[in-house]
Structure formats: C-alpha cells, structure tokens
Amino acid sequence: MMDIQDDALLRYSRQIMLPQVGYEGQAKLLESHALVIGLGGLGCPIALYLAAAGVGELTLADFDTVELSNLQRQIAHTTESLGANKALSAKRACLALNPHIQINTATEKLANKRLLELIAKADIVLDASDNYTTRFAINDACIQQKKPLISGAAIRMEAQISVFKGYLTDKPCYRCLYTPEGHDDETCSESGVLAPIVGVAGSIQSVEAIKVLLGLGEDLSGQLLLFDALAMDWRKLKLPKDPACPTCKRD
C-alpha cells in the first residue's frame, strides 16, 4: 500500500474518517484510474468530484470545444475556456482543485481501437457521452475488457443512472436495456435540460464509481435509478440480464 503524505491526509481527512473508506480505502483511490468519456454536463461534475476525492489518475476524453450554450450546466468550463477543447479545459479545472493527481487527456474522436486501449488502462469507465452510438461502443468495449461501466443520462428534468457489469454471468449490460434500433438521439440542444439535473446524475455516477472502486455497499448493477425532478420522485427498477443479448450472453 502507498504512503499518504501529511498534507494529503489533511486534504482527504473527511473521507479517511469514514469507517468504510479509512486510510486503506483512500490509498486505494489514490492508486485507481478512472476514464471519463465526455466532459459535458455529466462529465464535468464527475471529473471534479473524482479529482477532489483523490482518484489518483483520471483520463478525460472529449473531442468537442466549449461553447457559450454549454456554460449553463458544464461547470468545469468557464467563460475564459470558450473555444478550448473540453478535456483540456476540464483538466485545468481538476488540477486547480487537486494538483496532486495525474490527469491524461484524449482530445480526438475515439476510434474503436483507441477506445479499447483507453478502457484497458483504466480500472473503471464513466460514460458521460450524449449519443447512443458512443454509448453502445463504450458498453461493448467495457465488456470485452471486463471493466465496470458507470452510465448516466439527463434531459429536461429527468435523469437515469446505472452500473453495468455485463461481463458477469448474472449482470446485464447496456444492450440488455436498449437496442440500437429505433433510438433517436434526443439531446439537450433539442429538448433542453435544467442546469442542476446533470449535476445530480453526474454526482451519483461519481458516488457509484467510488463505491465500485472500493467495493462498498450495493452498487446499481442490475438496477436502473430513475429521477424525476418535477415530482421529486426516485425509483429503482430491476434490470435483468437479457439471455439473448448479442454482447453479453454466455456461450
């Protein structure tokens, strides 16, 4: 186990004092590597919270640049970072918060081979993308590499979060829930989203990531958490594994 320096003990003290985390758990987080795909509304709070919590290595992937209409909800980016690549902009914000972690960036559109490489190097993957093509590609690559996938989505005043471990015999994957056919990409640019809704989803994704990394409690694998802000209603649905799923079925 790595030694945690004195100033880091103070920085992470409120987490270390949790009996479920402790010194050992914090050391484990500092040795963990999370891949965050998409540094928009979900990815910004995810990256900031994982950086603040002391996940020792983050890889931030986004090819897009910061636009004015992003600033309403993508809280790692600032007016100054307009026009900058989102992964680089988020890296700056995360390092300002915690200069003691390592942050890698991927600023190009991820071809499948590159996606597989990035996932292979990470302990956990957070899908903060905004389209089905990317979501399916990430899911398939995570199953191939046997990496837990923390998935989130937010639109209008609703959010949903789940954890996918489709490489396990009893756990579903993203494709058990959705099929690629008949899905229009309904995006925030067309349907709108209330600013803090993406924060709710991204924050829960970071909670689940830390729980999975440390093996704490019960994570959302096999379940879908649905949030309806208007009714302030939270629901959890059971997600069974689809025995005919082309991606995660057992031969």
User: Quick one: which segment of 91-99, 183-191, 192-200, 240-248 binds Zn ion (CB under 5 A)?
Assistant: 240-248
141 interacts with Zn ion by CB under 5 A: no
Among 46, 50, 93, 245, binds Zn ion (CB under 5 A): 245
Instruction: State how far the Cα of 26 lies from the Cα of 39, in Å rounded to an integer.
Output: 25
Q: Which is nearer to Zn ion, 91 or 171 (CB)?
A: 171
**Smallest separation (angstroms) from Zn ion to the CB of 248:** 3
Q: Which is nearer to Zn ion, 33 or 249 (CB)?
A: 249
**Contacts of 71-74 spanning 24+ positions with Cβ under 8 A:** 72/195, 73/40, 73/41, 73/44, 73/188, 73/193, 73/195, 73/196, 73/198, 73/199, 74/39, 74/40, 74/41, 74/43, 74/44, 74/198
User: Quick one: which segment of 2-10, 186-194, 204-212, 242-250 binds Zn ion (CB under 5 A)?
Assistant: 242-250
Question: Is the Cβ–Cβ distance between 61 and 105 less than 8 Å?
Answer: yes
248 interacts with Zn ion by CB under 5 A: yes
Instruction: State how far the Cα of 130 lies from the Cα of 215, in Å rounded to an integer.
Output: 28
**Smallest separation (angstroms) from Zn ion to the CB of 130:** 22
Q: Which is nearer to Zn ion, 173 or 212 (CB)?
A: 173
Q: Which is nearer to Zn ion, 16 or 173 (CB)?
A: 173
- Coil, strand, or helix at residue 233? strand
CB atoms within 10 A of CB 124: 23
Instruction: State how far the Cα of 159 lies from the Cα of 201, in Å rounded to an integer.
Output: 6
Crossing angle of the two packed helices 86-97 and 43-53, in degrees rounded to 10: 30
- Coil, strand, or helix at residue 66? coil
User: Quick one: which segment of 25-33, 74-82, 127-135, 241-249 binds Zn ion (CB under 5 A)?
Assistant: 241-249
For residue 59, what are its two tokens?
A: 């890889």
**Smallest separation (angstroms) from Zn ion to the CB of 150:** 16
- Coil, strand, or helix at residue 71? coil
Strand segments (E) across 42-113 = 57-61, 102-106
Binding residues for Zn ion restricted to 149-188, rule: CB under 5 A: 166, 173, 175-176
Q: Which is nearer to Zn ion, 83 or 240 (CB)?
A: 240
119 interacts with Zn ion by CB under 5 A: no
45 interacts with Zn ion by CB under 5 A: no
Q: Which is nearer to Zn ion, 105 or 221 (CB)?
A: 221
**Smallest separation (angstroms) from Zn ion to the CB of 143:** 8
Residues near Zn ion, by CB under 5 A: 166, 173, 175-176, 245, 247-248
